[in-house]
Amino acid sequence: MKLITHLYSCTSTITRKDGFRILGVIETSYLYDDIDVETIADGCHLPPDLLKLIYKIKTDEHMCLVTDAIRHGGMSDIENATCENGNMPYKIEDGVAKLIDGSAFAGSIATTDVLVRTCTKRAGFALESAVKMITEVPARIMKLDTKGSLKVGYDADIVIFDDDINVIKTIVSGNVI
């Protein structure tokens, strides 16, 4: 096991069997230093204090930021939407997709800038760490040898943002998009 997908989102925690406690996926991810964890760092799926806990244990070496955005990513306040297959109606409110009755999240609408902004502005991470967790760490996990860093021989994919993490310019393969 090398990667935990969406830590705290549908991942098991401590349970009991015959009275004895058994570690779940969450605790196991903390127990082994070399396990990477994906975090939906939108401030909704994982609040800033929980992001701080994960970061304290996993550091920016093994914590990966993922949007897990559904097709309505980046949108807000939609009353009645459905998944691609027409099942599971949901609404967008409070920065997240929720089931119509509000009982659970239906998905993320976060964009990458939201993750970096949440980690830096709300959880207090250094900008360099947040950027590393959204670039270098996922590139390493996916074995993308020419992505994740600004180095000679790497793809010239760059996002430029302002002090409030608002995207100003996007460059892909050296071309401004």
Q: Containing domain of residue 43, as a range?
A: 3-68+111-150
Q: Let me know whether 28 and 51 are in one domain.
A: yes
**143/155 Cα distance (integer angstroms):** 14
Structure tokens at 111: 């964009």
pLDDT tier at 167 (50, 70, 90 boundaries)?
very high
Same domain, 74 and 138: no
Asked, for residue 176, whether it belongs to a domain, the answer is no
In a shared domain, residues 57 and 139: yes
Work out the number of other CB atoms within 10 angstroms of the CB of residue 159.
18
Asked if residue 116 and residue 63 are part of one domain, the reply reads yes
Name the band, by pLDDT with cuts 50, 70 and 90, for residue 115: very high
Catalytic residue selected from 33, 68, 113, 157: 68
Residues 73 and 134 placed together within one structural domain of the fold: no
Q: What is the pLDDT of residues 55-110, one digit of tens each?
A: 999 999 999 999 998 887 787 766 666 665 567 788 888 888 888 888 989 889 99
* Domain count across the chain: 2
* Pairwise CA distance, residues 154 & 149, whole Å: 7
- pLDDT at position 169 is 96
Q: Residue 171: inside a domain, yes or no?
A: no
Q: Is residue 168 included in any domain, yes or no?
A: no
Do the beta carbons of residue 26 and residue 12 sit within 8 Å?
Answer: yes
pLDDT in tens, 17-70: 999 999 999 999 999 999 999 999 999 999 999 999 999 999 999 999 999 988
pTM check: above 0.95: no
pLDDT, position 54: 98
Within a domain: 155 = no
Q: Are residues 8 and 44 in the same domain?
A: yes
68 is catalytic: yes
Q: What is the pLDDT of residue 77?
A: 66
Q: Tell me the average pLDDT across 128-152.
A: 95
Residue 128: alpha-carbon gap to chain centroid? 16
Distance CA 132, CA 65 (A): 9
Please tell me the distance from the alpha carbon of residue 105 to that of residue 87, in angstroms, as a whole number: 15
